[in-house]
Copies of this chain bind each other. A is one copy, B any other.
Amino acid sequence: MISGLKQYSIFKSLTDYELEELIFEDNCNSYKKGQIVYHEGNRARGFYFVNSGIIKVFKTGFEGKEQIIRFAKAGDIIGYRSVLSGENVCTSAKVNEDAVLCFINSESLFFLLKHNSQFAIDLLKLVSNELGEANVFITEIAQKTVKERLAETILYLKSSFGIDNENYLNINLTREELANIIGTATESVIRLLSDFKNENLIEIKGRKIKLLNVTALQKIASI
């Protein structure tokens, strides 16, 4: 399992020895759907590498409403932001699809950062990328309509998780989760999804979304 990590970009600069120091096999655990990985407000003692599965990263807003920040999948790391900034954890993480996560403690991270400058640079690149995406998201949520954002979100899910051979998205979310990405009410998502269906842009089978007309969706999202 461990040796497989090296192919993933963020660990690519590590030597085999460093990699073993970083992650012990016994720090990797299975998580079931619905399980909380970490909860906002606590102090960060480390972060997690996602070996498999899908993790939902979200903030709890006012009156308990969740705002989904991103979904992490195999190869991603979660919870590292608070470790680096030294602040308390400001997001929560919940398992959306059964996962195997490897815990990496803060000390190991900082040891590596001190002794492997390429790793530090790679990590800087990763955080900077995420910040860029956050800035795009801010602009869109501030300026686009709910319909545009829904189209965009569907396309984001496609590019991030892919589609199967029948054009179904490889990730299944509840209507409420879609609403919590977009920043709208569940009912609005339901109505707009059914609009998209009537316009033959998508097909819906429960939580599975099949893409019928990507070009039209891009046009609506105005990408």
Chain A residues packing against B (C-beta within 8 Å):
59, 61-62, 65, 67, 69, 81-82, 84-87, 90-91, 110, 113-115, 117-118, 120-121, 123-125, 127-132, 134-144, 182-183, 222
- Chain B residues with CB under 8 A of A131: 81, 85, 127, 130-131, 134
Contact of A59 with B136 in the complex, beta carbons under 8 Å? yes
Contact of A129 with B90 in the complex, beta carbons under 8 Å? no
Given B61, B85, B115, B121, which contacts A113 in the complex, CB threshold below 8 Å?
B121
Instruction: Give 9 closest A-B pairs by Cβ, nearest first.
Output: A142-B183, A134-B134, A85-B128, A120-B120, A84-B128, A67-B139, A61-B143, A114-B117, A59-B139
Asked whether A141 and B142 contact (CB < 8 A) given A114-B121, A120-B120, A134-B134, the answer is yes
- Beyond contacts A84-B124, A85-B131: 12 other A-B pairs, Cβ-Cβ < 8 A, are A61-B143, A62-B144, A67-B139, A69-B135, A69-B138, A85-B125, A90-B132, A90-B136, A113-B117, A120-B124, A134-B134, A134-B135
For A114, A118, A131, the residue with the greatest tally of chain B CB atoms inside 10 Å of its CB is A131
Least Cβ distance of A43 to chain B in Å? 14
Specify the chain B residue showing the minimal Cβ separation from A110.
B121
- Chain B residues with CB under 8 A of A134: 131, 134-135, 138
Asked whether A84 and B117 contact (CB < 8 A) given A62-B143, A62-B222, A90-B136, the answer is no
Specify the chain B residue showing the minimal Cβ separation from A70.
B135
Contact of A183 with B141 in the complex, beta carbons under 8 Å? yes
Least Cβ distance of A79 to chain B in Å? 11
Q: How far is A142 from B153 in the complex, measured between Cα atoms in Å?
A: 14
